[in-house]
Amino acid sequence: MSLPPPREVAVEIAGVNHHFGKGEARKQVLFDNSLVIRRGEIVIMTGPSGSGKTTLLTLIGTLRGLQEGSIRINGQELAGLAPAAQVQMRRNIGFIFQAHNLLNALTARQNVRMAIELTGVPRAQYDQIANDMDSGCFIRGSTLTCGGQIVDGAWRSLAGGANHRCGLQTDGSIWCWGLEDGNVLGQGVLASGSTLDAPTRVGTDNDWIDVGTGARLSCGMKADRSIWCWGDPQLTGTNTVDSLGVPLRIPGDNWAWLEVAWNRACAGTADKHLWCWGSDGYGLEVVPGIDPVLVPTDLGGTFDEVLLGGHHTCARIGSAWSCWGWNAGGQLVNGNVETHQYPGVPLCGR
Q: Which of 90, 115, 146 finishes a domain?
A: 90
Domain check: are 70 and 153 in the same one?
no
168, part of any domain? yes
Domain check: are 161 and 282 in the same one?
yes
Torsion of CA 220, 223, 225, 228, to 10 degrees: -30
Domain check: are 157 and 257 in the same one?
yes
153, part of any domain? yes
Other CB atoms within 10 A of residue 51 CB: 13
C-alpha distances in Å from residue 248, one per residue of 4, 109, 181, 219, 288: 65, 32, 17, 9, 25
CA angle 21, 48, 95 (to 5 degrees): 80
Q: Which of 260, 285, 302 finishes a domain?
A: 302
Domain check: are 43 and 161 in the same one?
no
CA angle 322, 324, 326 (to 5 degrees): 145
Q: In angstroms, rounded to a whole number, what is the distance separating the alpha carbons of residues 210 and 344?
A: 28
Other CB atoms within 10 A of residue 122 CB: 7
Q: What pLDDT, on a 0 to 100 scale, did the predictor assign at position 349?
A: 43
Domain check: are 153 and 257 in the same one?
yes
Query: Which residues contact residue 238 at a Cβ distance below 8 angstroms, ignoring those fewer than 6 apart?
Result: 229, 248, 249, 250, 251, 295
Q: In angstroms, rounded to a whole number, what is the distance separating the alpha carbons of residues 118 and 87?
A: 9
Q: Whole-number mean pLDDT of the chain?
A: 83
CATH number of domain containing 65? 3.40.50.300
pLDDT tens-digit series, residues 151-210: 899 999 999 888 899 999 999 999 999 988 889 999 998 887 888 888 999 999 999 999
285, part of any domain? yes
pLDDT tens-digit series, residues 81-95: 888 888 888 877 877
Band (pLDDT 50/70/90 cuts) for residue 266 is: very high
177, part of any domain? yes
121, part of any domain? no
Domain check: are 152 and 47 in the same one?
no
pLDDT tens-digit series, residues 6-17: 678 999 999 999
Domain check: are 142 and 28 in the same one?
no
Domain check: are 86 and 145 in the same one?
no
331, part of any domain? no
Query: Which residues contact residue 289 at a Cβ distance below 8 angstroms, ignoring those fewer than 6 apart?
Result: none
Number of independent structural domains in the chain: 2
Domain check: are 83 and 139 in the same one?
no
Expressed as residue numbers, the domain containing 15 is: 9-90
Q: Which of 90, 125, 159 finishes a domain?
A: 90
Does the pLDDT value for residue 300 go beyond 90? no
Domain check: are 161 and 57 in the same one?
no
225, part of any domain? yes
Does the pLDDT value for residue 262 go beyond 80? yes
Q: What is the pTM of this model?
A: 0.62
Query: Which residues contact residue 266 at a Cβ distance below 8 angstroms, ignoring those fewer than 6 apart?
Result: 258, 259, 274, 275, 276, 277, 306, 308, 313
Other CB atoms within 10 A of residue 93 CB: 12
CATH number of domain containing 160? 2.130.10.30
187, part of any domain? yes
Band (pLDDT 50/70/90 cuts) for residue 350 is: very low
pLDDT tens-digit series, residues 27-65: 899 999 999 998 888 888 888 878 899 899 989 988 888
Domain check: are 157 and 219 in the same one?
yes
